Chain A
C-alpha cells in the first residue's frame, strides 16, 4: 500500500498543481518511480496507490501500471482515491485512516502480510529481504530503519530497540535522542494484526489516525512484537527544495550509492519516447545527466537535465536541475537553481545563489518575472 496523497508543501510551487510523489527527479523519473520499481523488482505485483492531493497528473502517470510491469490480470496496480459513503465523504485524515478506508480492497486479496510505503523517498530496496526478516523474527510489525547522523535525530521518528532489534520505544523528533535509528516510513504488518488495530484506531476519537503517532505507539504499548529492520544504502527524503536539489546533485557523483545504471535493479518510468539529445557544435556538457529530447547549445556542467529541455546559445548553467520541457534563453547565467517544468527563462537572465551559498533558487512561472536580467 503506497501512500501517495502527500501535499509536500515545503516544495512550494513545485507541488502547487502536483502531488509530491509526482515531482520530477533524476533527469527522467518521478519520485513514485522508486517505490513502484522497488515493488516490481522485489516481486510484489499487487500494489494499491492511495491518492488524495492533486491526483490528476499522478493518476494519469500511473495509468494501468504498464511502465512498472504492474498491468496484471491478478493484482497489478490500483489507484485508491478517497470516496463518498452513503452518509458522508471521507477524506484520508491520516496515514492509518487512509489504509482503514480501503479495508475492502485489502480484504479482497486477504493477504498474509501488508507492506506500507510512502511516495516521498528516493531509495532502492529489496522488500523481499525485509519480508524474510519479518517472518524470521515472527514479528507482528517490522519497521525499516536507517542510521542518521546524531545531530539530525531531532528531524526523524527514532526507534529505540533492545539488543535483538526489538523495538521498545518510538520517539517522534526527540530533542535528546537515545538512538540514531530513524524510521523510513516503510512498514510490514501481519495483516490480521494490522486489521484489528486499524479498526480499533478508527473507533478512537482521540486518535489522529497516523501510523507513527498512533498505531505504532499503541502496538508497542500493548507489547506486540515489533522489530527494526536496519537498511544500509542510499535513502533520502526529498521533502524540501534544498533536499530535492541535493539528491539530484548526488546522482552526479560517480560513486553515488544510488546507481541508476544497475540493470539488475532498474528504475522504471513512463518513457517520453523523444529523439536522442542533440549537443550542438557550440554546446558543451560535463559532469551532468541529460535525458532524451534535449537540445544543448550552451554550456552545462554539474546539472541534471530532464527530457525536452532546450539550453540556448551562450547560456551557462551550473549545479542546476532543469525539469522537463523548460527553455533556458540565450546568454543566461544560472547557478544553483531548480527550473520548474515548462518554464521559459528569458534571454540574459542571471540567477546566482543568495547570501548563504546553499540557497537554491526555485524558478517557476510565478517567480520568473522577479528575476534580474541584464
Chain B
C-alpha cells in the first residue's frame, strides 16, 4: 500500500487566544466534539490516507497529548516498523515561529534520514477536517511541484507536501536561506522552488481562538458538516474509553445535540456538545454549551453559551449565561455556584 508518505505533525503551536483551554495542555490536546482531541483529525486523516509512519513534534505541556496517543494503538500505529514517533523539543528556550519549524526538525534529522518514504506531509495539529492526502500527493507529483501548500479558499491551512530529500535540504541550509519554517518557504516571492497551492474543497476549520473553537464545535450540529467529518469509510479515531452507553432519564429532553458515551442525562439539553461521562441533573437546562469530559452539573442549573472544561462541578441552582458571540469558559476541575469558593 501507500508507503510513499511520511506524516509530520507540528504540535508546538501556542495560541494565546485559546489560553483558557490550554493552560494544562497543548493546543493539539484540546478536547473537541465530545470525545476527540484536536490532533485526532490530522492523525486519523494521515492513517486513513495510508500513512504508516507519523512523527509528532510537541513542545509545551505535552503530558496529556502523550497520554492520549499512547503507543498509537487506537490509530493502528503500534507497528514494529514505522508507526508513531514522538520528538519533544530538546530546548524550551528556542523560539518556534510557525508550522514546520526547521530548527526542531534539525534536532531529529536522523529520523528523516532513516525513513524510507519519499514524501512528507507536514501539518499543524489543530485543523478540524477530513481529508485524503492521496489525491494531494498524486496532484503534487503530476504537477511537478517542489512544495505544495494546502489552502482553503485562498487561505493557508498550514499543511505542506514536500519531497523528503528537499525537506532535509531545507533543514540543512536554513542558516543560509533564512527560512525558519515551512511558511517562510512557501511565502518567499523570490523562491527558486516550484511552489504550488492545492485547494481543499471540504469542510476545514483551524481552531485558534475561543470564539472559533465554539463556532467549529457548533458546526458539528449541522448534518452536512457532521456527514463530511465523520464518514463511515474514513473514521476519525480517538482513544477509546470503555464507557457504557449514555443513560437518558425519564425526564430527559435532548434536542439538536451531540452526546458521547457514559453520560447520565436527567435534564434538558439543546444545541450542545456533551462529552464522555458527563452528568446533567434534573431540572437543569443546558443551551448552546460545550460540556467536557466527566463534568457534573447538578440540579436546576441554567447554562447558556458556556464552555465547561473537564472535571468541573456546577453546584445546584447555578446560572451562567454569556452572549453567544463570546462564550464563557469554566476552567478544568473548578467548582462553580452556591457553596463554591471561587
User: Is the CB–CB distance between B35 and A276 below 8 Å?
Assistant: yes
Given contacts A261-B262, A273-B238, A279 and B245 within 8 Å (CB-CB): no
Query: Chain B residue with minimal CB distance to A67?
Result: B242
CB neighbours (8 Å) of B46 from chain A are none
CB neighbours (8 Å) of A274 from chain B are 230, 235
Q: How far is the CA of A27 from the CA of B261 in the complex (A)?
A: 11
User: Is the CB–CB distance between A276 and B260 below 8 Å?
Assistant: yes
B254 at the interface (CB under 8 A from A): yes
CB neighbours (8 Å) of B34 from chain A are 275-276
> What mask results when residues 275 to 286 of chain B are scored 1 for a CB within 8 Å of chain A, else 0?
000000000000
Determine which of B229, B235, B249, B257 lies in contact with A254 in the assembled complex, contact meaning CB atoms within 8 Å. B249
Given contacts A275-B236, A277-B258, A279-B254, A287 and B35 within 8 Å (CB-CB): no
B247 at the interface (CB under 8 A from A): yes
User: Is the CB–CB distance between A285 and B240 below 8 Å?
Assistant: no
B237 at the interface (CB under 8 A from A): yes
B108 at the interface (CB under 8 A from A): no
A198 at the interface (CB under 8 A from B): no
Q: Which of A105-113, A178-186, A263-271, A350-358 lies on the face that meets chain B?
A: A263-271
A123 CB, nearest partner CB in chain B, Å: 16
B319 at the interface (CB under 8 A from A): no
Determine which of A275, A279, A282 lies in contact with B257 in the assembled complex, contact meaning CB atoms within 8 Å. A279
A344 CB, nearest partner CB in chain B, Å: 15
User: Is the CB–CB distance between A284 and B254 below 8 Å?
Assistant: yes
> What mask results when residues 269 to 295 of chain A are scored 1 for a CB within 8 Å of chain B, else 0?
101011111111111111111111000
Q: How far is the CA of A79 from the CA of B135 in the complex (A)?
A: 42
User: Is the CB–CB distance between B35 and A27 below 8 Å?
Assistant: no
Q: How far is the CA of A273 from the CA of B260 in the complex (A)?
A: 11
Q: How far is the CA of A266 from the CA of B261 in the complex (A)?
A: 14
Question: How many residues in A have their beta carbons less than 8 Å from beta carbons of B?
Answer: 36
Determine which of B74, B245, B259, B264 lies in contact with A28 in the assembled complex, contact meaning CB atoms within 8 Å. B245
> What mask results when residues 314 to 344 of chain A are scored 1 for a CB within 8 Å of chain B, else 0?
0000000000000000000000000000000
User: Is the CB–CB distance between A260 and B244 below 8 Å?
Assistant: yes
A305 at the interface (CB under 8 A from B): yes
A26 at the interface (CB under 8 A from B): yes
CB neighbours (8 Å) of A277 from chain B are 246, 258-260
Given contacts A275-B226, A281-B256, A26 and B247 within 8 Å (CB-CB): no
Given contacts A273-B237, A285-B248, A287-B250, A278 and B258 within 8 Å (CB-CB): yes
Q: How far is the CA of A261 from the CA of B258 in the complex (A)?
A: 20
Query: Chain B residue with minimal CB distance to A325?
Result: B232
CB neighbours (8 Å) of B240 from chain A are 271, 273
Query: Chain B residue with minimal CB distance to A260?
Result: B244
CB neighbours (8 Å) of A268 from chain B are 242
B221 CB, nearest partner CB in chain A, Å: 8
> What mask results when residues 156 to 189 of chain B are scored 1 for a CB within 8 Å of chain A, else 0?
0000000000000000000000000000000000
CB neighbours (8 Å) of A280 from chain B are 223, 255-256
CB neighbours (8 Å) of A285 from chain B are 248, 252, 254
Query: Chain B residue with minimal CB distance to A281?
Result: B256
B64 at the interface (CB under 8 A from A): no
B33 at the interface (CB under 8 A from A): yes
Q: How far is the CA of A280 from the CA of B222 in the complex (A)?
A: 10
A210 CB, nearest partner CB in chain B, Å: 35
Query: Chain B residue with minimal CB distance to A29?
Result: B244
Given contacts A273-B240, A275-B226, A276-B34, A284 and B260 within 8 Å (CB-CB): no
Q: How many A-B residue pairs have CB under 8 A?
A: 107
Q: How far is the CA of A304 from the CA of B253 in the complex (A)?
A: 17
B257 CB, nearest partner CB in chain A, Å: 5
Q: How far is the CA of A159 from the CA of B253 in the complex (A)?
A: 48
Query: Chain A residue with minimal CB distance to B230?
Result: A275
Query: Chain B residue with minimal CB distance to A300?
Result: B248
Determine which of A269, A281, A286, A290 lies in contact with B259 in the assembled complex, contact meaning CB atoms within 8 Å. A290
> What mask results when residues 185 to 220 of chain A are scored 1 for a CB within 8 Å of chain B, else 0?
000000000000000000000000000000000000
CB neighbours (8 Å) of A290 from chain B are 245-246, 248, 259
User: Is the CB–CB distance between B255 and A275 below 8 Å?
Assistant: no
User: Is the CB–CB distance between B248 and A288 below 8 Å?
Assistant: yes
CB neighbours (8 Å) of B258 from chain A are 275-279
B241 at the interface (CB under 8 A from A): yes
B280 CB, nearest partner CB in chain A, Å: 13
Q: How far is the CA of A271 from the CA of B260 in the complex (A)?
A: 13
B251 at the interface (CB under 8 A from A): yes
Determine which of A261, A279, A287 lies in contact with B264 in the assembled complex, contact meaning CB atoms within 8 Å. A261
CB neighbours (8 Å) of A279 from chain B are 254-259
CB neighbours (8 Å) of B237 from chain A are 273
Determine which of A252, A278, A306 lies in contact with B226 in the assembled complex, contact meaning CB atoms within 8 Å. A278
> What mask results when residues 8 to 38 of chain A are scored 1 for a CB within 8 Å of chain B, else 0?
0000000000000000001110000000000
Query: Chain B residue with minimal CB distance to A307?
Result: B245
B213 CB, nearest partner CB in chain A, Å: 17
B38 CB, nearest partner CB in chain A, Å: 15
User: Is the CB–CB distance between A291 and B245 below 8 Å?
Assistant: yes
CB neighbours (8 Å) of B241 from chain A are 271
Give the interface centre of B237, B255, B260 by most chain A CB atoms within 10 Å: B255
CB<8 Å pairs between A and B, sample of 11 = A28-B245, A66-B73, A266-B242, A275-B258, A277-B259, A279-B259, A280-B223, A280-B256, A284-B254, A287-B252, A289-B244
Q: Which 4 A-B pairs have the closest CB atoms?
A: A27-B245, A271-B240, A260-B244, A276-B34
Apart from A280-B255, A291-B261, 18 more pairs, CB < 8 Å: A28-B245, A261-B262, A267-B244, A271-B241, A273-B238, A275-B35, A276-B35, A278-B226, A278-B257, A278-B258, A279-B254, A279-B256, A280-B223, A280-B256, A283-B255, A286-B250, A286-B253, A291-B245
